[in-house]
Structure 1
């Protein structure tokens, strides 16, 4: 008898430098667009780090400390995880009763933190502090909204060239709770009254309030009886940055310029616009997001098409076993959609 086990985790980072103005930082110093100081980067804080360590446990323990808060806040936006284990008697078959699947479904979402200390000019903070509005219950940090944004498969049995295995998949995402609440109020009040109530400029109510986009990853893990493992992130939101950890070690990451101009270029502080962010907000309206208002069949076709043209998976890592190679398993197993 031999035990087989592996884990895969995607971690989503919103890059940023110091936003602590009392210590020389800049409130508009992250990969969020600020739209001339009227919007996102002026409203919220990013993760105050531009890269993540190789060790996943270190990532989990990292905290950003800001004068606005008396506790450290997690330094990533989202984590999506799968752990698989089973026993094999011969390196070719799986003892069904031994199969175990775990995800991080019970992990509390990261906080969305509002920029600026009490009294500083910031439309979101102004709404928090107003006596006539209770939109945010007076809270300057709220957990990200992950409701109805998780799909999980069971542990599915597989066979490749006569070697049995198990795989599972999870699509998981989250949105900014403050933006979600503003969306509700936007439709409840109507555009004119919404602008009058908040004092917000019309330019600060673009697509990301009308339809808040979702940060997400579509993660899959396969473990074969001979010891072959394969982790694939079939898809991930184009914004912001994502990392793939396999067995707690960083193995792959998505491309992401801090300034996020699609044609490349170096980071510019106080980036006014953000092309990758714009692409992300438009994605929510069509078939390229698993949380779009369209059918899931459309999303499946989109991912299958990306896989056929080599654009998917967006991140991957495999380890060869005693009989199979990770590339053989990858060729034999198409995306496992978890719904």
Structure 2
């Protein structure tokens, strides 16, 4: 969905989430473990064949070709968006509209399995019964919106927490499969944790758009893994740190993933943890994590950025 036409002012904010990596097409020289997905799981699932999220949102939302399939797939995991439009005299907002991310903005989960590659989800277990790809498990969206006033200038504020997780692993757990059945050998502790809790990729976006044109975007929180970038007006404005050789390596350690998996076992650390949303707001107030994870501000004709930040300093939490 998108805004209806004819508003005096409109703006759209997006957070794009992707799994960095290189080509995993073995038929053209790639390797099945060429992405930031950790060892073992990287043999089974695809990354996004890009090393960073580009400056242009249109490129960030591009598609990838996989040797196992006759169609393309999104070159990202989740698109989390808030779009606001309103009529204004420069001080007041008599009418407005807010649109937020829809479930269709999740990418499918695709299985590795090119020539000479083995994948238990393809060769042993039939967890989809179709073409070896599934829609991601949707988490949210949790949304809220309100009108605000700063120094006599009205504005609209919209907030969303949205994400998704791996449907294949959810189905595997529901059918009683264990990591020991899926592969042998020493299993890294982070993979055991991940399979136990199945954490979600997510973003918590809070966008305030004032009648004078001031824009204040705070991405209060994102999943520690994988990479996220903030786009406003179709251009990248901020991004999380996700460096090859530090947060992730090919065929090796994946510190960002390890932290991501561990946080899923801490009650209230994430909005979609094993105990639901218990304690999530409390975690913000007690200083858990670094908030905001990304931000962007652009002044309008009347208000200062500082005035808007001070007046709207607390996160606008959707009902959790």
Give TM-score scaled by structure 1 length.
Answer: 0.85
Q: Deviations over 1:189-247 (max 9, x none)?
A: 6x5xx745x45557276111111110000001101111101111000000001000011
Q: CA deviation at 1:140?
A: 1.5
Moved over 4 A (4+): 198-202
Structure 1 partner of 2:56 = 55
Q: Deviations over 1:50-72 (max 9, x none)?
A: 11222212322x22112111111
Q: Does 1:19 align with 2:20?
A: no
Residues matched between the structures, number:
309
Counterpart selection for 1:322 from 301, 304, 319:
301
Alpha-carbon distance between aligned partners in 2 of 1:157 and 1:279, rounded to the nearest angstrom = 37
Q: Does 1:112 align with 2:126?
A: no
Structure 1 partner of 2:271 = 290
Stretches of structure 1 that go unaligned for 5 or more consecutive residues are: 128-132, 262-266
Alpha-carbon distance between aligned partners in 2 of 1:107 and 1:201, rounded to the nearest angstrom = 38
Q: Give the 5 Å matches for 1:120-159.
A: 120-127=117-124, 133-146=125-138, 148-153=139-144, 155-159=145-149
For the aligned residue pairs, the C-alpha RMSD in angstroms reads: 2.2
Structure 2 partner of 1:103 = 100
Alpha-carbon distance between aligned partners in 2 of 1:293 and 1:162, rounded to the nearest angstrom = 43
Stretches of structure 2 that go unaligned for 5 or more consecutive residues are: 1-6
Q: CA deviation at 1:156?
A: 0.2
Alpha carbons 2:78, 2:105 under 8 Å: kept: no
Alpha carbons 1:238, 1:276 under 8 Å: kept: yes
Q: Give the 5 Å matches for 1:1-339.
A: 3-34=8-39, 39-60=40-61, 62-89=62-89, 91-95=90-94, 98-117=95-114, 120-127=117-124, 133-146=125-138, 148-153=139-144, 155-186=145-176, 195-196=180-181, 198=182, 200-201=184-185, 203=187, 206-261=192-247, 268-271=249-252, 273-286=253-266, 287-294=268-275, 296=277, 298-306=279-287, 311-333=290-312, 334-339=314-319
Alpha-carbon distance between aligned partners in 1 of 2:169 and 2:246, rounded to the nearest angstrom = 21
Q: CA deviation at 1:121?
A: 1.4
Q: 1:300 to 1:105 in 2, by over 3 A?
A: same
Q: CA deviation at 1:108?
A: 4.4
The structure with the largest helix share of the pair is 1
